[in-house]
């Protein structure tokens, strides 16, 4: 009911005034009168729009759901626009699609769920997933992101960076100022995310990485000193230190002590019988 319409009807005596007050804002509830001056509905608040038929909770729920949907749109747009990846299908990874057939896989799933709990709890988590190709590192890392988004009702900004793809995109952008600016702008936004997955760090380096790669990784890691990070790599802890250096890694490693997942003893999931 429009407020002006309300006063017009009120002054004409067209409205029935209940003794009940609006539970949202405290004004008397009103309804249009019938032939015998009886109220024609259960009453509504002309100030805030509360309607007794629908109930207080419904309105609160509807509003919550409206904002949750708006946040979801923002968070998903951020994730898909800012992330660096090769195939969109990675965003389908979820905990419940991770098959924990072995004790080791159950342990990894359990550890990843704990990482997710800590992130939901707003803890500064730095977590390193180490292990060979095809062992489920990316699957579980994305699952954590999706789980945190859902459980925080999309109150976090999260992003994913396939480091190898980033190197490729940077290389391809050389010579094009526009492409370079685009990818650099994307990276600047990634750095602002609450949580990032930096995927496949070190895969390119059989022992050595170029200064360019190191600088790019160092910049991303530096942005994470006070923010959450999940790092996946095929390098072992000591190799990671050798390649990227103590200085770049020390803050990250300091926080990661209880959050590291070691996938080493698994063979490539994709090469196993029965795996898609």
Ligand X SMILES: Nc1ncnc2c1ncn2[C@@H]1O[C@H](COP(=O)(O)OP(=O)(O)O)[C@@H](O)[C@H]1O
Residues 6+ apart with CB under 8 A from 156: 75, 119, 148, 149, 194, 195
**Binding to ligand X, residues 246-275 (CB under 6 A):** 269-270
From residue 35, how far is each of 41, 126, 174, 210, 259 by CA, in Å?
13, 70, 79, 86, 71
Residues 6+ apart with CB under 8 A from 254: 126
28 forms beta bridges with 21
136 contacts ligand X (rule: CB under 6 A)? yes
Least Cα distance to 20 among 37, 45, 41, 40 occurs for 45
CB of 232 vs ligand X, minimal distance in Å: 6
In the list 135, 143, 186, 205, the residue contacting ligand X (rule: CB under 6 A) is 135
**Binding to ligand X, residues 90-119 (CB under 6 A):** 93, 97-99, 105
**Interacting span for ligand X (CB under 6 A) from 52-60, 137-145, 165-173, 245-253:** 137-145
DSSP letter string, 23-46: TTT-PEEEEEB-TTS-BSSS-B-T
CB of 137 vs Mg ion, minimal distance in Å: 5
CB of 268 vs ligand X, minimal distance in Å: 8
CA–CA separation, 141 vs 115, rounded Å?
A: 10
138 contacts ligand X (rule: CB under 6 A)? yes
- Cα angle at 152 between 146 and 153, to 5 degrees? 90
**Interacting span for Mg ion (CB under 5 A) from 59-67, 122-130, 134-142, 210-218:** 134-142
- Judged by beta carbon distances under 5 to 8 A according to partner kind, the member of Mg ion, ligand X, none in contact with residue 237 is none
Could you say which DSSP state residue 51 is in? B
- Judged by beta carbon distances under 5 to 8 A according to partner kind, the member of ligand X, Mg ion, none in contact with residue 39 is none
25 contacts ligand X (rule: CB under 6 A)? no
Q: Are 126 and 256 in contact (CB under 8 A)?
A: yes
The helix (run of H) or strand (run of E) holding residue 62 is: helix 56-82
**Measured at CB, which residue is nearest to ligand X?**
136
What is the number of other CB atoms lying within 10 angstroms of the CB of residue 45? 22
138 contacts Mg ion (rule: CB under 5 A)? yes
133 contacts ligand X (rule: CB under 6 A)? yes
- Judged by beta carbon distances under 5 to 8 A according to partner kind, the member of Mg ion, ligand X, none in contact with residue 139 is ligand X
CB of 133 vs Mg ion, minimal distance in Å: 7
Which CB atom, from 52 or from 167, has the smaller least distance to ligand X? 167
231 contacts ligand X (rule: CB under 6 A)? no
116 contacts Mg ion (rule: CB under 5 A)? no
From residue 62, how far is each of 59, 65, 66, 75, 91 by CA, in Å?
5, 5, 6, 20, 28
Binding site for ligand X (CB under 6 A): 93, 97-99, 105, 133-139, 269-270
Binding site for Mg ion (CB under 5 A): 137-138
């Amino acid at each position: 009911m429009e407020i002006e319409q309300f006063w017009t009807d009120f002054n004409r005596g067209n409205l029935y005034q209940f003794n009940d007050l609006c539970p949202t804002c405290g004004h008397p509830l009103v309804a249009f009168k019938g032939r015998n001056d009886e109220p024609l509905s259960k009453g509504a608040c002309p100030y805030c729009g509360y309607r007794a038929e629908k109930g207080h909770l419904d309105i609160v729920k509807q509003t919550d759901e409206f904002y949750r949907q708006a946040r979801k749109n923002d968070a998903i747009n951020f994730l898909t626009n800012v992330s660096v990846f090769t195939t969109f299908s990675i965003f389908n990874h979820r905990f419940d699609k991770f098959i924990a057939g072995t004790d080791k896989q159950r342990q990894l799933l359990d550890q990843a769920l704990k990482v997710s709990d800590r992130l939901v709890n707003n803890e500064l988590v730095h977590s390193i997933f180490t292990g060979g190709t095809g062992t489920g590192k990316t699957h579980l890392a994305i699952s954590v992101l999706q789980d945190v988004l859902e459980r925080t009702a999309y109150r976090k900004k999260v992003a994913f960076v396939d480091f190898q793809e980033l190197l490729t995109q940077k290389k391809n952008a050389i010579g094009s100022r526009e492409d370079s600016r685009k990818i650099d702008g994307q990276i600047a936004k990634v750095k602002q995310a609450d949580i990032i997955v930096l995927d496949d760090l070190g895969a390119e380096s059989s022992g050595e990485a170029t200064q360019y790669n190191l600088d790019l990784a160092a910049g991303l890691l530096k942005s994470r000193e006070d923010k959450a990070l999940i790092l996946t790599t095929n390098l072992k802890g000591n190799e990671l230190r050798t390649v990227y250096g103590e200085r770049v890694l020390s803050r990250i490693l300091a926080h990661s002590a209880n959050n590291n997942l070691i996938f080493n003893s698994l063979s490539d999931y994709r090469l196993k019988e029965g795996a898609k």
